[in-house]
Chain A
């Protein structure tokens, strides 16, 4: 097959312009937030004492973490969806670093015999169930956006898309969850989000080929 014949054919196919990558990501984000919101309000809803909880820094700090994770993964996923992308990946380390700082503060503020109780919380199973359930729809939306792009590292891109879906899902779930200690968040939110990230890596390896 002559390369020039191929070029002739490609040259004739300029009318069908694909959606710009930035717009497809923005669409995916809107769809993800809607899907997560619908799933959250249909299945859980916010905790009963949310008005009171708003005055507590531990509760509010959960949102710093979840929104921070979503924001950093958002930047990284969009960069990774371009063939040469990869810049901006280190932003993902910011939230874990914040969480480590919060754990140190928590452990110095709380007596050692309470650490275990704070970490186990009262709702770990709920957390492990609902963060993935709320996040699966968003993950699907982000995988579609990755397919529209051209990531040179599909597995890594999918893992980051999973973190993004996890960040979105955990932001909603945190409004329901009554366990506010960073010890609880690190273990159970961490596990649930890691699960979504692993699912994203596998899904992208299967579906994001170009």
Chain B
């Protein structure tokens, strides 16, 4: 798979549009592709110093998610996606007391990382979960660790689905905030 050009851009835009209309399958597909693109973008820019590339990939995915309403549907996805990755990359370096210049002019040349690349960040999932309020923690962990759906989580925890969705959304915001603190 090459960088975001032509066909890929059209696919990404179609997937994101479907996602915004509520298609979960399209959204997961979009996020997997986005992760591969961001990983390639971030990987060789973090080689020099103290920043875990996969940390930045995950921070970017969270930001893409929480800020997906900032994508203008009439515009291409790639510049938007790389602008967010760039912001998160600079943020990661800033937290470690370093400044970097990140050029996204050549993003079209990025190659998506091979699938066998480590897709594990140095952050420990249990520690991320520990930072959440108990209600949010049980919901996020049910979906991420146990792989349950919203409906299954609601049944397992004896909550209604709306409450599960609210706890999940708040939990993700809390995780994003915690990521931003280092």
Contacts of B75 in A (CB 8 A): 84
Contact of B70 among A3, A13, A82 (CB under 8 A): A82
Contact of A11 among B31, B86, B87, B124 (CB under 8 A): B31
Contact of A8 among B87, B121, B143, B176 (CB under 8 A): B143
Report the Cα distance A3→B143, complex, angstroms.
Answer: 13
Report the Cα distance A154→B123, complex, angstroms.
Answer: 27
Contact of A21 among B70, B123, B166 (CB under 8 A): B70
Q: Are A17 and B20 in contact (CB under 8 A)?
A: yes
Given contacts A1-B121, A4-B119, whether A11 and B24 have CB atoms under 8 Å apart is: yes
Q: Are B144 and A3 in contact (CB under 8 A)?
A: no
Query: How many A-B pairs with Cβ below 8 Å?
Result: 117
Contacts of A15 in B (CB 8 A): 22, 150, 165
Specify which of A4, A17, A81, A84 lies most central, judged by the most chain B CB atoms within 10 Å of its CB. A84
Per the CB 8 Å criterion, the residue count for chain A at the interface is 30
Contacts of B57 in A (CB 8 A): 3
Q: Are B124 and A1 in contact (CB under 8 A)?
A: yes
Contact of A150 among B24, B58, B67 (CB under 8 A): B67
Q: Is A12 an interface residue (CB 8 A)?
A: yes
Q: Are B32 and A9 in contact (CB under 8 A)?
A: no
Contacts of A209 in B (CB 8 A): 180
Q: Are A10 and B120 in contact (CB under 8 A)?
A: no
Name the residue on B nearest A23 (C-beta).
B69
Report the Cα distance A84→B121, complex, angstroms.
Answer: 26
Q: Are B69 and A18 in contact (CB under 8 A)?
A: yes
Given contacts A3-B35, A4-B119, A8-B147, whether A83 and B83 have CB atoms under 8 Å apart is: yes
Contacts of A13 in B (CB 8 A): 65, 165, 168-169, 172
Q: Distance in Å from the Cβ of B65 to the closest Cβ of chain A? A: 5
Contacts of A3 in B (CB 8 A): 35, 54, 57-58, 61, 119-121
Q: Distance in Å from the Cβ of B47 to the closest Cβ of chain A? A: 19
Contacts of B28 in A (CB 8 A): 7-8, 11
Q: Are B120 and A16 in contact (CB under 8 A)?
A: no
Contact of A12 among B84, B119, B128, B168 (CB under 8 A): B168
Q: Distance in Å from the Cβ of A208 to the closest Cβ of chain B? A: 12
Report the Cα distance A9→B27, complex, angstroms.
Answer: 11
B163-178 with Cβ < 8 A to chain A: 165-166, 168-169, 172, 176
Q: Distance in Å from the Cβ of B152 to the closest Cβ of chain A? A: 10
Q: Are B70 and A149 in contact (CB under 8 A)?
A: yes
Name the residue on A nearest B125 (C-beta).
A1
Report the Cα distance A152→B79, complex, angstroms.
Answer: 12
Q: Is B93 an interface residue (CB 8 A)?
A: no
Contact of B69 among A10, A14, A21, A210 (CB under 8 A): A21
Report the Cα distance A157→B94, complex, angstroms.
Answer: 19
Name the residue on A nearest B87 (C-beta).
A152
Contacts of B20 in A (CB 8 A): 17
Contact of A10 among B31, B80, B125, B166 (CB under 8 A): B31
Binding site for B on A (CB under 8 A): 1-21, 81-84, 149-150, 152, 209-210
9 sampled A-B residue pairs with Cβ under 8 A: A1-B120, A2-B119, A7-B32, A7-B35, A16-B166, A21-B72, A84-B79, A150-B87, A210-B67
